[in-house]
A and B are shown apart, each in its own frame.
Chain A
Amino acid sequence: MAFDIGGTFTDFVLAAKDAPPRFLKLPSTPDDPARAVINGFATLLDAAGIQGADLDAVLHATTVATNAIIERKGRPTALITTEGFRDVLIIGRQKRYETYDLYMDKPAPLAPRRAIFEVQERLDHHGHVIEPLDDASVDAAVRAVEAGGYESVAVALLHAYANPAHEQAVGRALAKRLPDIPVTLAASISPKFREYERTSTAVANAYVRPIVDKYVQRLEGALKGHGFQKSMFIMQSAGGLVSPEIAREQPVRIVESGPAAGVLLAAMVGAEEGADHVITFDMGGTTAKLGAVDNGEPAVTPTFEVDPVRYRPGSGLPINVPAVELLEIGAGGGSIARVDLGVIHVGPESAGADPGPICYGRGGIEATVTDANLALGYINPDFFNAGAMQLDRDAALDGIRRAVAEPLGLSVEEAAWGIHTVANGNMERAMRIVSVERGRDPRRYAIVAFGGAGPLHAARIAKSIGAPRVLAPFGAGVGSAIGLLQAAPKIESSITRVMALENGAETEIAAIYEELRKRADTDLARLGAGGSPIWTRYGYLRYRGQGYEIRATLPDGPIDATFPAAAAAAFHAAYEQAYGYHDEAAAIEAVDWHLVATLPQPAGALDLGWRAPEGAMPKPRMRPTWQPEAGGFVDTPIHDRQQLPAGAAVKGPAIIEDPESTLVVPGGMWATVTERGHILIDIGQMVADGSNAP
C-alpha cells in the first residue's frame, strides 16, 4: 500500500504481484492528516478483501513537514550558536528578492532572536580548535533553553562541518539536563560550509521535529491497530525511502516527499517507454512543478528553498539536504489573468481551490487559466473531476470578457487563447531554466505531464522548447502514490572537505569515504530494509576559483592512485554536459563528498499494469474547441481515455478525457495509446507506425 498526502487530496494505491492495482482518492484532513490515511487504508483493505497483516510494506509521502514550515506551526525552537554569530540566521544572505521594493521584509526566521543563545568556542575551516568549548557558557545556554520553555533545539557552530566535536559536546549537555527535548546538530544533518544555509537547515529540522514525530507515531500506531506488522517507509526529498525512525529524527529530509514521488513516477513512465531523459511537468491548481530525469535517474540538487515568496528564487528558507530538482512557479489552473501595460499577465496570484476559478461557481470573480481552458472548449463542463462538479461556462466567458477581452479590444475567445498562451509562455520559461540553462538539450528529453492541468498544456510547450515527445501516464491522477511503489530505500551521507583533486589525494579521499561509510552503516542498521546495498559515490566539484559546484558520479571500486584522475575525468564530462565546454588544464577542487546506499524495493516487483479495454476504439463524441491554426472553433473529436485500447492512434486536433485530467492533442500531432496504457504525443508530424492512424 502506498499513499501520498497532498494539500487537497490523499491518494492511495494498493498493489500486488498477481492482481491489478486499486486506486483511491480521498479529501485530505489537514487538521489531522492521519485521519484520511486511516480511513483510506481501511477502505482499500476491505475492497480487496484482505487484512492489514497481509501487507508486506506501507510506503508513504507527506506534506506534514512542509506545511508546518509554511504555516509556521512548528514548536518553539531554540538555536545555540558560536559566540559573536547570534545573528547569522536573522541576517541570512541579505539580498532582496525584489530589487525595487524597499518595503519588503524577509521571511520570519523559524527561531526568533530571543531564542538564539551563544557558546564560547571557535574552530577554523580545517576543523582545528582555535578556542576550546567553554563549559560555563554551555551551561548558561542550556539553562536559557530550559527557562524559555523551548520544545526543540538546534545547535549550529561555525565550521562544525569540519569537526563536529563541539556541537556533539553541546548536544550531550542538552541531553543530560533536558532529556525530553530533541536536539538537532547542524553538522549531523548538513555537514557543509556556508553557515547561514547550514544553520537554516538545522533550525528547520528542529522546528518541525516535534510535529513529525507525533504524526509518525500516531500513524504507526493506527496501522498496527489495523493489523499491519511489517515495515513502513517514508519518502525522502531526494527520492529514496527511509524508516520512520530516521524521518522522526531528521524530518527536514522529507520536506519534498510528495514531489519526489511524482518525479519517480515520471522516471518509471519514461523507462517503460524507452525515454531515459525526462522533464517532469506536474501542473495542478496553484502551481506547476518541473523536474528532470537524466539517464534514468531523477535529478537531485544538494540544496533547495522552502516557502518562497511569490516563487521568487532567494525568498525562501534554504534547506541544505538533497532533494529532487524541482522548479515551482505560480502557474496552475487557478492562476489569475490580468492586463497591464497592454499585455496579459497570468499568475502568480491564484484563486486556489477556494473560491477557485469563476466557472466553479463558488464565488470566484477573477478570470483564471481554467476559465480560459473551459472557454476554449478544452475542458468538458459536465465531466470535470469525473462529473463531480458542473462548470459554468457562461460565467467564465463573462469574467474573461471583463478582465482581458474588453481592456485589450479582443474577442472573448481570443482573450481566452491569450491567457492560455501566456500561461504556456510562463511554463516554457520555467522549462527552459530546467533544460537549457542547466545543460539539458530539450531535443533529447520527453516531457511527462501529469497533475490535473499538465496534459492540457504540455504538447504546445513541448513544441516551443523543441522536445520531441509528451507522455501522459496511466494513473496520472494518483501519480505520486504510484511513484512511491517505484522507490527504493536509500541512505545518503555527505560531508564538506574542500581539497584539490590531484594525484596523492587518494589517501584523504579514502579516509573521507571510510567515514561516510561508517555513518551510512549506522543509518542502515536503523532502516529496517532487507537486502544488501548498492553503493554510489558522488562528488560536488568545481574548477579551482569558481564558487558553484556541479555533481559528478565518482568511480566505484577501491580508492587507489588512479582514483583522482578517474574522478577528474568524470567531472570534465559532467562540466561539458552542463556548460558545453571543459578545461582539461585547469585545476579541480572538490567541495562536497556524498555516498549513497540503495537497497532493493521493499515490496519487490508489483503488477501496476494497465488493463486495456476490449474491442475496437469507440467513435468519439464531437465538441467545438479553439484551434488557432484553423483560425477559430473547430468541431473536435472528444475521446474517453478509459475506452481507448492499446495502439489506438488519435489525430490532432483532439481531446482525450480522463476522470482527473484532460489531454489536448493540437492539430498536426498524433497521440497513441502505448501497450502500458500511457499516451504518447509525437510532437513531430507522424507516429512511428503510421498504420494505426484512423
Chain B
Amino acid sequence: MTIDPITLTVVWNGLLSIAEEMGSTLRRTAFSEAVREGEDFSTGVFDAQARLVAQGNFTPGHLGSMPYVVKTVLEYFPADTLQPGDAILLNDSFLGSGHFPDCFLVSPSFLQDRIVGYVVTTAHHIDVGGAAPGSQRVHGVTEAFQEGLRILPVKLIRGGAFDQDLLRMILGNVRVPEKVEGDLRAQANATRAGALRLSTLFDEQGVDIVEAAHEAILDRSEQRMRELIGDIPDGRYAFEDQLDDYGPDTPPIIVAVDVTVAGDEVEVDFSRSSDQVPAALNSYINYTRAYTMFAVKVFCDALLPQNHGGMRPIRTVAREGSFFNPKFPASSGGRAAVQIRIFDAINGALSQALPHRGMGAFSHWSNPNIGGTDPETGKPFVMYDLGFGGYGGRADKDGAEGLAPVMNCRNIPVEVHETNTPVRIHRLELMADSGGAGKYRGGTGLRKDVELLAESAVMTGLGDRHVNPPFGIFGGKPGALAYTILNPNGNAQELGSKEVVNLMKGDVVSFQLSGAGGYGDPAERDPAKIKADLADGYVTPDGARNHYGYSSQETD
C-alpha cells in the first residue's frame, strides 16, 4: 500500500508527539532527582513487528538498546500472552542499556483485541541495590552480581495493576524504595498514556495506513542516512585514546577505534581496544552501539529522525570479551563514564574525514554518588550528582562553556542538593587556564567542592582524565588534567578518579574536571579573543603568556 505525503506527515508527526508526551508525563510525575532534574530517561514507539519508529529527544544513552528491547521482551512474552495494560520490566545490563540502574518498561498498545504496537520508557533509577549507594561503584566490583538487582524480563504490571509480590521484592532490595517506586509508577503513567494515544492514532488513521507509514518512515530515514554517509570520503580512519584506569593502581584502558566508510555504509570497530576489566566500567555492546549511533549522527545530520531505519547503515563492532563488548557477568555499573570517550574516539577518527565537523575532546565529566544516613530524617540518602565542563574547540569557534557533554542531562541545582541531602557545596565554578589552547580554545573545566554534613558516608568517584588529558586536534593543545582532592583546604589528599572513600562529617571533596581540547594552532588565535578571555577571567595573564605567548603590556 502506498501512502500520500500529507497523511504520512500527519502520522509521522503523531508518532513523534506520542514519544514526546510520554517523556513529559514521566518527568512531571517522577520522584528521583535523576529523572526529574537530570532528565536521564528516554521513550520510544514501536510497530507491531517490534521496530523502533519514533524516539523522544531525550538522553541518547538508550539508543543502542531501545531498537532491540521489544524483540527481547517478545522472546520472553510472545505477543499472544500480552493483555491490554500489561507492562514488562527489565534492567539486565546485556539485554538493556548496559547497567542495572536503567529500567525499561514495555507495554503493548491494543486496538480492540489486536496489538498495533509497543511503547517503551527507560529511566535511570537512583539505586538498584548492590555494593554501594547509587549502584555505580566501579572499584572492587568485579562481577555483575555485586551490582544489585538484575531483572530479566518480568511482567510487573498485569492489566494495569502492579504485581505486588514483584514490587515488594524489588523495593526490598533497593536503598531508596520510595523513589524507586515513585519512578516506576511514573514510568507506568507514561507507558499507559503512550499506549492509549498510539491506539487512538491507529483508530483514526486506519491500521493499514499507519503500517504503511511505518515502512515509509524507516525506509526514508535509512535512505537519508545512506546519502549522508555516502558524502563522507571512503576510507579507514583510526584513532586511539586512553581511559586513565579502572580504579586505583590499575593500568589504562586503550580506547581504539577503526572507522571504515565504504559507500553508503559505515563500520565502527572497537576490537583493538583493551580486554574487559574486573571493575564496573565495561561498556556492553548495546551501550557501545548507542554512542556510536550518536557520534555518526552528530557527524551526519543532527536533526535526522531517530528510528530503526536510520541505524541500519551503521555497524558497531567490538571483539567479544573486549572492553566494548564484554561477556556477562562483566560488571558495568559505572559505564556512563565511558560514553564521552566513545564519542571522543570516533570524533578523533571522523575529524580526519570531516574536519569542519570535528572538535577537540570534551572536558570529561564527573558522576559521583555519596550515600549515608540523613541526620534530619534518620533515613538513607543518595546524592547523585552530575558535573559538566566545556566542549572542545570547534572548526569555527571556541568550545561551549559548561554544557552537558554527549549524554544530555540537566545539572542538579546547588539549592536542591542542599535542601534534599545533608551536603554543603562550597564552590561551583569554571577554572581559569584549564581549556586547551588553540586557534579555537577548548571550554574550561568545572570545579565543585562538596562537604558532608552527615556523620559518615561512602563516596563513589566516577571521573577520568586525571592522567590522560582531553586531546586537541589539528594542532590544538590538550586541556588541563582533572583532579579529585579530599579536603583541599586542610590536609589535602589527592584521590583517584574512580576511588571509593569513606567520608566523615566535615570532609570536603573537590571535583576538578579537566579542560576540553583545543582546535587548531594556538599561534593562529585572534588576539582579540585572548583579550576577551582575559577580561572574562577564562584565561589569566600567566596563562595567556604560557599558552599563547601573549603579553597584555606589549599590545596595549
Residues of A near any B CB (own CB < 8 A) = 84-88, 90-96, 98-106, 112-114, 124-125, 130, 158-159, 193-196, 314, 341-344, 408, 410, 414, 417-418, 421-422, 425-426, 429, 432-433, 436-437, 498, 543, 545-548, 579
Distance to closest chain B CB from A424 (angstroms): 9
Is B418 a contact partner of A159 (Cβ separation < 8 A)?
yes
B33 interfacial contact with A, CB 8 Å: yes
Tell me whether B400 and A104 are in contact (CB under 8 A): yes
How long is the Cα–Cα vector from A610 to B279 in the complex, in angstroms?
A: 77
Q: Is the CB of B5 within 8 A of A103?
A: no
In the complex, the answer to whether A87 meets B428 with C-beta atoms within 8 Å is: yes
Given the known interface contacts A98-B302, A113-B537, A159-B415, the answer about A429 and B36 at a Cβ–Cβ threshold of 8 Å is no
* Contact pick for B21, options A106, A417, A432, CB 8 Å: A432
CA–CA, A100 to B59, complex, Å? 10
| Complex-state Cα separation, A85 to B413, whole angstroms | 12
What are 8 A-B residue pairs whose CB atoms fall within 8 Å in the complex?
A85-B427, A90-B402, A93-B413, A99-B408, A193-B413, A195-B414, A421-B10, A425-B10
Is the pair B536, A114 in contact by a Cβ cutoff of 8 Å?
Answer: yes
Contact, CB under 8 Å: B297 / A100:
yes
> B8, A99: Cβ atoms under 8 Å?
no
User: In the complex the two chains form, what is the Cα distance from A344 to B33 in whole Å?
Assistant: 38
Chain A residues closer than 8 Å to B403, beta-carbon distance: 94, 96, 106
Given A341-B221, A341-B305, is A545 in contact with B179 using a C-beta cutoff of 8 Å?
yes
B110 within 8 A of A: no
Residues of chain A lying within 8 A (CB to CB) of residue B33: 547
List residues of chain A with CB within 8 A of the CB of B394.
102-103
Q: Contact: B60 with A99, CB < 8 Å?
A: yes
Question: Which residues from chain B contact A99 at a C-beta distance below 8 Å?
Answer: 57-60, 302, 408
CB within 8 Å for A418 and B9 given contacts A87-B402, A96-B408, A100-B298:
yes
Q: Is A95's CB under 8 angstroms from B418's CB? A: no
Given the known interface contacts A94-B388, A105-B400, A193-B416, the answer about A545 and B182 at a Cβ–Cβ threshold of 8 Å is yes
CB atoms of B415 and A194 under 8 A apart: yes
Count B interface residues, CB 8 Å: 73
Least distance between A107 CB and chain B CB atoms (Å): 11
CA distance in complex: A148, B134 (Å): 46
Partner of B298, one of A86, A102, A410, A418: A102
> Which residues of A sit under 8 angstroms from B418, Cβ to Cβ?
124-125, 159
Query: From residue B303, how far is it (CB to closest CB) to chain A in Å?
Result: 7
Chain B residues whose CB sits within 8 angstroms of the CB of A85 once the complex forms: 414, 427-429
- B164 at interface, CB cutoff 8 A: no
- Residues of A near B426 (CB, < 8 A) are 84
CA distance A159 to B531 in the complex (A): 34
Given A114-B536, A408-B5: A545 and B404 interface contact (C-beta under 8 Å)? no
The interface bits of chain B over 387-403 (1 if a CB of A lies within 8 angstroms of the residue's CB, else 0) are: 01001001001001111
- Residue in A314, A343, A425, A437 whose CB lies within 8 Å of B24: A437
Within 8 Å of chain A (Cβ to Cβ): is B39?
Answer: yes
Contact, CB under 8 Å: B535 / A432: no
What's the least CB distance linking A198 to chain B, in Å?
Answer: 8
Q: Which residue of A lies closest to B216 (CB)?
A: A342
Check B419 for interface membership: any CB of A closer than 8 A.
yes
Q: Which residue of A lies closest to B396 (CB)?
A: A103
Give Cα A518 to B494, complex, Å. Answer: 52
CA distance A103 to B298 in the complex (A): 9
B39 and A95: CB pair below 8 A? yes
B361 to chain A, nearest CB (A): 12
Contacts A545-B31, A545-B182, A546-B182 given; does A113 touch B538 at CB 8 Å: yes
Q: Which residues of A contact B36 (CB under 8 A)?
A: 546-548
Q: Select which of B13, B224, B397, B430 is within 8 A of A105 by beta carbon.
A: B397
Within 8 A of A (CB), among B400-455: 400-404, 408-411, 413-416, 418-419, 424, 426-430, 446, 449
* Given pairs A103-B359, A429-B17, 13 additional interface contacts (CB within 8 A): A87-B428, A90-B401, A94-B388, A95-B404, A102-B359, A105-B400, A106-B403, A193-B415, A193-B419, A432-B21, A546-B31, A547-B36, A579-B29
Would B427 and A341 count as touching, CB distance under 8 A? no
Q: Would B415 and A158 count as touching, CB distance under 8 A? A: yes
Bound CA–CA A103/B351 (angstroms)? 14
Residues of chain B within 8 A (CB-CB) of A498 are 419
Given contacts A85-B414, A100-B294, A342-B216, contact A418 B419 (CB under 8 A): no
Known: A114-B536, A195-B413, A429-B13. A95 touches B408 (CB 8 A): yes
Whether A91 pairs with B414 at a CB distance below 8 angstroms is: no
A398, B58: Cα distance in complex, Å: 40
Query: Do A344 and B5 contact each other (CB < 8 Å), given the known contacts A87-B429, A100-B294?
Result: yes
Contact B6 A90 (CB under 8 A): no
A87, A114, A193 — most chain B CB neighbours (10 Å): A87
Instruction: Write out the residue numbers on chain A whose beta carbons fall within 8 Å of the beta carbon of B550.
Output: none
Cα A114 to Cα B538 with chains together (Å): 9
Which residues in B have some Cβ–Cβ distance to A below 8 Å? 5-6, 8-10, 12-14, 17, 21, 24-25, 27-31, 33, 36-37, 39, 57-60, 178-179, 182, 189, 216, 220-221, 224, 294, 297-298, 302-305, 357, 359, 388, 391, 394, 397, 400-404, 408-411, 413-416, 418-419, 424, 426-430, 446, 449, 535-538
A84's nearest neighbour on chain B, judged by CB, is B427
Give the residue among B357, B401, B404 with the most A Cβ atoms within 10 A.
Answer: B401
| Whole-angstrom distance between the Cβ of B75 and the nearest chain A Cβ | 30
In the bound assembly, the distance between CA atoms of A343 and B223 in angstroms comes to 14
A91 and B430 contacting across the interface, CB-CB below 8 Å:
yes
Residue of B nearest to A408 (CB): B5
A311 to chain B minimum Cβ distance, whole angstroms, is 14
Complex: A634 Cα to B411 Cα, angstroms: 56
Closest 4 CB pairs of A and B: A547-B36, A84-B427, A100-B302, A91-B402
Contacts of B27 in A (CB 8 A): 548
Nearest Cβ on chain B to A109's Cβ, whole angstroms = 10
- What is the CB-to-nearest-CB distance from A678 to chain B, in angstroms, rounded to a whole number? 30
Q: Which residue of A lies closest to B192 (CB)?
A: A580
Specify which of B57, B359, B402, B538 is in contact with A92 (CB 8 Å cutoff): B402
- Residues on A with beta carbons closer than 8 Å to the beta carbon of B59: 99
Q: Which residue of B lies closest to A430 (CB)?
A: B17
Max chain B CB contacts within 10 Å: which of A102, A106, A159? A102
Whether A421 pairs with B13 at a CB distance below 8 angstroms is no
**Chain B residues in 8 Å Cβ range of A92:** 402
Across-interface contacts of B21 in A (CB, < 8 A): 432-433, 436-437
CA distance A630 to B415 in the complex (A): 60
Cβ-defined contact, A421 with B404, below 8 A: no
Contact of A113 with B536 in the complex, beta carbons under 8 Å: yes
Among B182, B402, B414, which residue has its beta carbon within 8 angstroms of that of A158? B414
Q: Which residues of A contact B388 (CB under 8 A)?
A: 94
Contact B6 A124 (CB under 8 A): no
CB pair B424–A124 under 8 Å, yes or no, is yes
The complex places the Cα of A686 from the Cα of B480 at a distance, in Å, of 72
CB nearest neighbor in B for A410: B5
CA distance A130 to B423 in the complex (A): 13
Residues of A within 8 A of B17 (CB): 429, 432
Q: Which of B357, B410, B446 contacts A95 (CB 8 A)?
A: B410
**Contacts A94-B411, A343-B8, A437-B21; A548 near B28 (Cβ below 8 A):** yes
User: How far apart sit A112 and B401, CA to CA, in the bound complex (Å)?
Assistant: 13
- Bound-state CA distance A169–B495 (Å) is 40
Cβ of B24: which chain A residues have Cβ within 8 Å of it?
433, 437
A114 partner, pick from B294, B402, B537, beta carbons under 8 A:
B537
Q: Which residue of B lies closest to A578 (CB)?
A: B28
How far in angstroms is the closest Cβ of chain A from B223?
Answer: 8
**Known interface pairs A91-B428, A547-B36; A421-B402 also in contact (CB < 8 Å):** no
Known: A113-B537, A546-B31. A100 touches B303 (CB 8 A): yes
Give Cα distance in the complex from A90 to B8, angstroms: 42
Indicate which residue in B25, B37, B294, B411 contacts A91 across the interface (CB closer than 8 Å): B411
Q: Which residues of B contact A342 (CB under 8 A)?
A: 5, 8, 216, 220
Q: Are A417 and B298 in contact (CB under 8 A)?
A: no
Q: Which residues of B contact A422 (CB under 8 A)?
A: 6, 9-10, 13
User: In the bound complex, how far is the Cα of B400 from the Cα of A196, in angstroms?
Assistant: 18
